[in-house]
Amino acid sequence: MTILILADHDGHSLNDATARAVSAARYMGDAIHILVAGENVGPVAQAAAHVSGVDKVLVADDPTLAHLLAEPVAELLIELSKDYTAVIAAATSIGKDILPRVAARRDVMQVSDITRVIAADTFERPIYAGNAIETVKSSDAFKVVTIRSSAFDASPQTTTAAPEENISLPSKAWKAHFVSEELTKSERPELTSARIVISGGRGLGSAQAFQTVLTPLAERLHAAIGASRAAVDAGYAPNDLQVGQTGKIVAPELYLAIGISGAIQHLAGMKDSKVIVAINKDPDAPIFNVADFGLVGDLFTVVPELVNILG
Amino acid sequence: MKKILVPIKMVLDANMRPRVKTDGSGIDLSGMKLSINPFCEIAVEEAVRLKEKGLAEEIIVISIGTAKAQDVLRQAMAMGADRARLIETDQPIEPLTAAKLIRFVAEEEKPDLIILGKQAVDDDCNQTGQMLAALLDWPQATFASALKMEADTLHVTREVDGGHQTLAMPLPAVVTTDLRLNEPRHCSLPNIMKARKKALDITPVSVCGVNIETRLNVLNVKSPEPRKPGRRVADANELVTELRTAGVI
């Protein structure tokens, strides 16, 4: 009952979502191996070796794997998968891209985006944008599963490192190749793993206000900044900040929804947050139905007040 | 390229609130409005735009489901698809099975490009496109926000967690759509009338040679736990006090 996890990383550091996948894997098997694929991934492999619960790190270091493209990484996982009972990954853009290829080639039905492990073959997962939760039991002998990282705590760091083993990539001609990448640079914590998230909606009124109103508060609280789809569609914020059914799913300790009305598709991305605060001038905004603390007021007054009080 | 294949799915309309059946067996769809999955609509629109730019000659839409799914195929043809195919079945179809059935059609039609929605908003699986690419041994570009042909090479910009990534690949290829790829057009009445005359070919699932038995048994479907009711605070001071008491700041 050994589980293989595909590590999610950006080439430099291990994504916290991987340590969360380790927590989920601990309910599914008795040994856990992590595959770190990429180019010059020594530091990432080291980080993976120090995640509690990891028994072995497989390192595939190859220029072809530099951007974790689906074809080579899936091929590697398919080769390796014969020695495992399950292959799992966090449901990040990398995990979602690669794992269904593995499932199809192994002729198994993937279980996507699980939020709870009930047994090694039985899982809970949200459907209809989180408006319903289904419990599914897989009849496939081999399992392919992606993990909703916000539903699991990260497995802690340990001082003793798990052993590493170098493996090589099967040689094949890959069809798709990498051209370029534009990553949004931010000094803020990463949206999906931040302890506090401040999201702005259409109530901010402009891209400039989105920055000038939210940034000081985010700095005080060391929070990540998110946005509703309405704010993204209006051009106030880039799409990778979008929280919702079609954007990122977050579940921080504290979520502040500022000038967000609370469309169903937004709620789907944040309603599992521990404490939700809504600030909106419309007392009937649906966001207040999920808020632990609601403040009816003008965000352009309230948010600067909050910044002052927090010093 | 000559042919684009666009597989589409009919789902509960995205503006309807799903009702969980009291016996826990699933979502009650009786009497509910069913529509084309929003991501699939974006896929149809993109195919039509490629054809309008003179980059494709024919667009074939395909759906898997009951006779009712003809409605979304007609809508896709009103948007500009040339003809449609329905793989007819009244059984629930999982993404792996859908991928195998689409491969069956792809082997007959031999498209140069297959464009699909990145996920269906009912089961939220996000699997079919990737599975199809793997079964066909084609390259894939998931979560596309821009598509461009440069000579014979397809360039696709993808929405990834930290921003955007651009990939290049030869055809044939599989692309799955994200929200920002385009805004689907509204169908004009003349186009809706014209779509009624376009060919819609129905194939019973039994002739496709694919075992459609499900692999995942749904044991239960329930509503999510409701959040406990919150309360209103008067001002910023009270809010900060409450958040400090709750230990979150």
Q: Are B11 and B120 in contact (CB under 8 A)?
A: yes
Report the percentage of chain B scoring pLDDT > 70. Answer: 100
What's the confidence (pLDDT) of residue B198?
Answer: 98
Q: Minimal Cα–Cα distance from A66 to chain B, Å?
A: 13
What's the confidence (pLDDT) of residue B128?
Answer: 98
> Please, which residues bridge with residue A145 across strands?
A88, A111
User: Cβ contact (<8 Å) for B230 and A122?
Assistant: no
Interface of A with B in 111-150 (CB under 8 A): 111-113, 122, 125-140
Q: Are A204 and A236 in contact (CB under 8 A)?
A: yes
What's the confidence (pLDDT) of residue A265?
Answer: 85
What's the confidence (pLDDT) of residue B229?
Answer: 87
Report the percentage of chain A scoring pLDDT > 90. Answer: 89
Please report where in the chains the tokens 């640079």 appear, as a residue. Answer: A185
Which of B179, B222, B240 is facing A306, going by the closest CB pair? B240
Average pLDDT, chain A: 96
Which of B131, B178, B222 is facing A133, going by the closest CB pair? B222
Which of A70, A74, A127 is facing B123, going by the closest CB pair? A127
| Model ipTM over 0.85 | yes
Average pLDDT, chain B: 96
Strands B140-150 and B173-177: parallel
Domain assignment of residue B102, given as a range: 3-245
Q: Minimal Cα–Cα distance from A159 to chain B, Å?
A: 29
- Give the Cβ contact number of residue A163 at 10 Å: 9
- B25: pLDDT strictly greater than 90: yes
With contacts defined as CB-CB under 8 Å, which chain A residues touch B145?
Answer: 239
B232 to chain A, any CB pair closer than 8 A? The answer is yes
> Each residue of B69-78: pLDDT tens digit?
999 999 999 9
Closest CA to B142 of A184, A95, A147: A95
Rounded Cα–Cα distance for residues A293 and A278 (Å): 6
User: Cβ contact (<8 Å) for B239 and A97?
Assistant: no
- B17: pLDDT strictly greater than 90: no
What are the residues whose beta carbons fall under 8 Å from the beta carbon of B39, sequence distance 6 or more? B116, B117, B118, B119, B120, B121, B176, B177, B178, B179
User: Cβ contact (<8 Å) for A128 and B124?
Assistant: yes
Between A209-218, A235-244, B93-102, the lowest mean confidence (pLDDT) is in A235-244
User: Cβ contact (<8 Å) for A93 and B143?
Assistant: yes
Mean pLDDT across A238-266: 92
- Give the Cβ contact number of residue A37 at 10 Å: 27
Reported for A209-214, long-range contacts at CB under 8 A and 24+ positions apart, including other chains, are: A209/A236, A209/A300, A210/A236, A210/A237, A213/A258, A213/A299, A213/A300, A213/A303, A213/A304, A214/A258, A214/A303
Closest CA to B69 of B15, B5, B9, B25: B9
In which order are the strands placed within the sheet that holds A132-138? Answer: A116-119, A122-127, A132-138, B216-222
The CATH number of A196-310 is 3.40.50.1220
Residue A311 pLDDT level (bands cut at 50, 70, 90): confident
Domain ranges in chain A? 2-166, 196-310
Q: CA-based angle A50:A56:A62, to the nearest 5?
A: 95
Question: At the fourth CATH level, which superfamily is domain A2-166?
Answer: HUPs (3.40.50.620)
SS3 content of chain B, % helix, strand, coil (to 5): 30, 30, 35
- Give the Cβ contact number of residue A156 at 10 Å: 12
What's the confidence (pLDDT) of residue B165?
Answer: 97
Backbone angles phi, psi at A20, to 5 degrees: -75, -40
To 10 degrees, the CA torsion angle through B72, B78, B80, B83?
Answer: 60
- Number of domains making up chain B: 1
Mean pLDDT across B223-232: 90
Strands B3-8 and B58-65: parallel
Type of residue found at A293: F
Residue B134 pLDDT level (bands cut at 50, 70, 90): very high
What's the confidence (pLDDT) of residue A170?
Answer: 86
Residue B48 pLDDT level (bands cut at 50, 70, 90): very high
Mean pLDDT across A200-206: 98
B226 to chain A, any CB pair closer than 8 A? The answer is no
> Please, which residues bridge with residue A105 across strands?
none
